[in-house]
Structure 1
Amino acid sequence: MTEDFYDILGVSRDASEEEINEAYREKVREYHPDVSDDPDAEEKFKKAKTAKEVLTDEEQRQMYDRMGHEQFIEAQKRGATDTDGRGARGGMGGDPFGGGGPFGDMEDIFEQFFGGGGGRGRDRPRQGQDLRTGLEVDLEEAYEGVEKELTVRRPERCPECEGTGHPPGTDSHTCPECNGRGQTTQVQQTPLGRMQQTTTCRRCEGEGTIYEETCSTCGGDGIVREEATLTVEIPAGISSGQTLRMSGEGAPGEQGARNGDLLVEVEVADHPDFDREGDDLYTREPVSFPQAVFGDTIQVETLDGAVELEVPAGTQSGERFRLRNKGMPRLQRRGQGDLFVDVQVVTPESLNEEQREALERFAEAGGEEIEVEQGFFEKIRDTF
């Protein structure tokens, strides 16, 4: 790929990490495959994700700025890159925008060869995990768009210790394992020379401090599970299986990091009067035998109120008519689908004497001898 990472995200070359993250979130909202109609949405989403990962990692961004886009990409295809920006020999290969390319292992490469230089991204507070839930709406709500309340049970920062894992004012001392640095370093002699690996201190979990007391509410985790009632906006035209993203409503991140998102999978309930296929709706409308023979104007119910439908003379039972722009709104696009009406001619179950005589004369005029008691209306239905 020859697209510059800054251009992909639409930011300047001196953009801050916060500006880069915000630009990435905009791209996610625009190109996430769950919500975008762009035929290249998945590829654009992958490009934005890769650009964000490189530009928010200090060492990778420095190398990217120093080497330029094409040389940087080529170096990653060949293998690890040394601290002067020259490609070290290797045979990793792969697609930097795919799931199996070298960017997935970039931090491990830096930790192995350069003592965890690329691992700083790991030592930054981690963003909270995304959570998933489901929500059912009826067809009218999907047609109009609506705000719905949902209740989720999710992890939240402990209110007693504010997520620290220990009560306020708890005595503390410097972690003896890492001497307050929050990291430990191991040095090994290998055929390639002395190699060092820096990892987060397991004893203090990267804080550099040991606390004498843990919070009794959360057991020192800083996290409790609570029920939360949220309001989600359902856009007009949404379909079953589509997912809405509520930014920041997922699990809490580590101290200083943003929360994850809540992903709401929407299910649109079946409707007793309408079937749905994409943006189009289908319904059935009964008409009488005279209406089908002579034609008539009938009222048809839609999700937006009743409308008139012209039934022409000689309409056959099962014939389909189209009411344009009376279907579902097109999600994130202009216009609506259509409503298709299948006309069903209804045969009366009983007739008075006058009606019976009229239909007998009608049948006789067509040259048929009708035995009323042996299925008169079945013959009429077969004729028409």
Structure 2
Amino acid sequence: MSEDFYSVLGVDRDASEEDIKRAYREKASEYHPDVSDDPNAEEKFKRIQEAKEVLLDDEKRRMYDQMGHERFQQADKRGATEGGGAGGMGGGPFGGGGAGGMNDIFEQFFGGGGGGRSGPQQGADLKTRLTVDLEDAYEGVTKQLTVARPERCPDCDGKGHPPEADARTCSACNGRGQQRTVRQTPLGRVQQTQTCQQCEGEGTVYSETCSTCRGDGQVRNEATLQVEVPAGIQSGQTLRMDGEGAPGEDGGRNGDLLVEIEVEDSEAFERNGDDLRYRMPISFPQAAFGDTVEVPTLDGAVEMDVPAGTQSGETFRLRNKGMPHLQRRGHGDLYVKVQVVTPESLNEEQREALEAFAEAGGEEIDVEQGFFEKLKNSF
């Protein structure tokens, strides 16, 4: 039994598209025949490419998971032979070419599924992306989103023909919506059931097609929607808007709209999950003597005590001042990293005071070098 495609790439069966792409790049760079010393590099490289082509195609991957590796490989080879393809996915039953196709596979392995329409069909889900800033992600916000999507044709109500069009039974399939053929294959006679192309599985043809949608039953329009973005959302998370996707067929419900959220980086805060980080500049006297400083947060400024003797780079934790937890109570924390700022210039009074401070501590002052330059070098 040959190694399955998940093992070829070294990923789990629930691996995401990004996981698969990343694994493919690593494996391909390792076994590319031009750079690899492995004697079987060429064969391994072909297997890696084949695995990527199947697992990155939603339909092929679904069939692969249902059928298993061996049956999928058999079906692919059979489709390439019957369809005159060159092997692989391009000319086989999953590449859309030749005499194979999805109908063959359903008929041969699952006992059908390539026939005419069988009642209401749910519409496809659609995907889009929405960008919000960190403040919106903190508070939660309602955003307007404009998407171009297919919609049911208003003139024919999605039927593809005017209401007054004459209907007649399809002569190609005699009203069944399906066409059956019997083919001789290396494994014997195979009967296929396919959707009738003339009536598209309806069993009925019409004298006219809708001029608005040209018989498709759908038109493409822009829709403006209100999106409720919850507080605490993070980049990469997806909101599902029920029924806002592509229209269904034969009375089926609409698909959903999937909105992937991207939270913009903030100039002031760095986000890590529900925690935030902030750099707080303080002066040397504040660090030496201690002070109470105002720290900005996404919920307004708060006071923070800086103890005497604080060193540059020390971090203080302000509890519950970070991002809200998504769909649960509480907040993350805000981590404040203090940075002692050295002034670029001093007046005469400041210089004399600091020179006296240094001399009191036994420091020798090089006036040309400057006290603060010496102070920086001592840290």
TM-score by length of 2: 0.68
| 1:340 to partner: Cα distance | 1.1
The CA deviation at 1:188 is 6.5
Q: Within 2, Cα distance between the matches of 1:183 and 1:366?
A: 98
Q: How many Å separate the matches in 2 of 1:333 and 1:108?
A: 49
1:36 corresponds to which residue? Answer: none
Separation in 2 of the partners of 1:130 and 1:181? 29
Secondary structure (helix, strand or coil) at the match of 2:151 reads strand
Query: Which of the residues 292, 308, 329 maps onto 1:297?
Result: 292
What is the distance in 2 between the residues matched to 1:376 and 1:189? Answer: 95
Question: Contact 1:329–1:337 at 8 Å: present in 2 too?
Answer: yes
Residues 1:281 and 2:276 aligned together? yes
Match of 2:256 among 240, 244, 261: 261
Question: Quick one: structure 1 residues 113 and 358, their matched pair in 2 at CA, closer, same or farther if it must change by over 3 Å?
Answer: closer
SS state at 1:367 partner: coil
How much does 1:348 deviate? 2.3
CA contact (8 A) 1:132 1:263 kept: yes
State yes or no: 1:131 paired with 2:96. no
Name which of 55, 58, 67 aligns with 1:102: 67
Cα separation, 1, equivalents of 2:105 and 2:268: 60
Structure 2 match to 1:352: 347
Gaps of 5+ in 1: 1-41, 44-96
Matched with 1:178 is 173
CA shift for structure 1 position 98: 9.6
Q: Secondary structure at the match of 1:123?
A: coil
Q: 1:112 to 1:278 in 2, by over 3 A?
A: same
Within-5 A mapping of 1:222-261: 222-261=217-256
SS where residue 65 of structure 2 aligns?
A: coil
Tell me whether 277-286 or 197-206 shows the greater mean CA deviation.
197-206
> 1:121/1:275 Cα in 2 relative to 1: closer, same or farther (>3 Å)?
farther
Q: Which amino acid aligns with 2:149?
A: R
Deviation per CA, 1:271-290: give whole Å up to 9, x if none. Answer: 11011122221111111111
1:311 and 2:306 matched: yes
CA distance change for structure 1 residues 364 and 192 in 2, over 3 Å: closer, same or farther? Answer: closer
Q: Compute the RMSD of aligned alpha carbons.
A: 3.2
Mean CA deviation greater in 245-254 or 226-235: 245-254
In structure 2, C-alpha distance between the alignment counterparts of 1:247 and 1:163, rounded to whole Å: 20
CA contact under 8 A between 2:315 and 2:337: conserved in structure 1? yes
Q: Is the 8 A contact 2:116 2:196 kept in 1?
A: no
Query: Which residue of 2 is the match for residue 17 of structure 1?
Result: none
C-alpha distance in 1 between matches for 2:209 and 2:66 = 42
The whole-number CA distance in structure 2 between the counterparts of 1:149 and 1:293 is 51
Q: Deviations over 1:178-214 (max 9, x none)?
A: 2223223345789999865433222111212111111
> What whole-Å deviation, never above 9, does each CA across 1:133-190 have from its counterpart, x for those lacking one?
1111000111111111110111111111111111121122121222223223345789
Q: 1:33 corresponds to which residue?
A: none
Q: 1:339 aligns with which of 334, 341, 347?
A: 334
Q: 1:320 aligns with which of 307, 315, 328?
A: 315
Q: 1:381 to 1:195 in 2, by over 3 A?
A: closer
- TM-score normalized with structure 1 length: 0.67
Identical columns (%): 72
Aligned to 2:75: none
Q: 1:111 maps to which residue?
A: 107
Partner Cα separation in structure 2 for residue 344 and residue 156 of structure 1: 57
- Aligned AA (1:264): V
Amino acid across the alignment from 1:112 = Q
The answer to whether residue 355 in structure 2 is matched with residue 363 in structure 1 is no
Structure 2 residues not aligned, in runs of 5+: 1-13, 16-61, 73-101
CA distance in 1, matches of 2:132, 2:276: 17
Q: Name the amino acid aligned to 1:101.
A: Q
User: Match of 2:224, SS?
Assistant: strand
Q: CA deviation at 1:257?
A: 1.4
Report Cα offsets for 1:51-70 as digits up to 9, x if no partner: xxxxxxxxxxxxxxxxxxxx
Please tell me whether the aligned partners of residues 188 and 194 of structure 1 are also in contact (alpha carbons under 8 angstroms): yes
For the Cα contact (< 8 Å) 1:113–1:195, is it kept in 2? Answer: no
Match of 1:211 in 2: 206
Distance (Å, rounded) in 1 between the aligned partners of 2:275 and 2:256: 32
Q: Which moved more, 1:325-334 or 1:200-209?
A: 325-334
Q: Write the distance in 2 (CA, Å) between the matches of 1:182 and 1:271.
A: 57
CA distances 1:202-244 after superposition (whole Å, capped 9, x unpaired): 2111212111111111111111110000111212222222222
Cα deviation, residue 374, structure 1? 2.5
Q: Which amino acid aligns with 1:111?
A: E
CA distance in 2, matches of 1:109, 1:125: 23
Match of 2:49 in 1: none
Question: Is this contact kept in 2: 1:152–1:227, CA < 8 A?
Answer: yes
Alignment of 1:42-191 (within 5 A): 100-102=65-67, 111-112=107-108, 116=112, 123-186=118-181
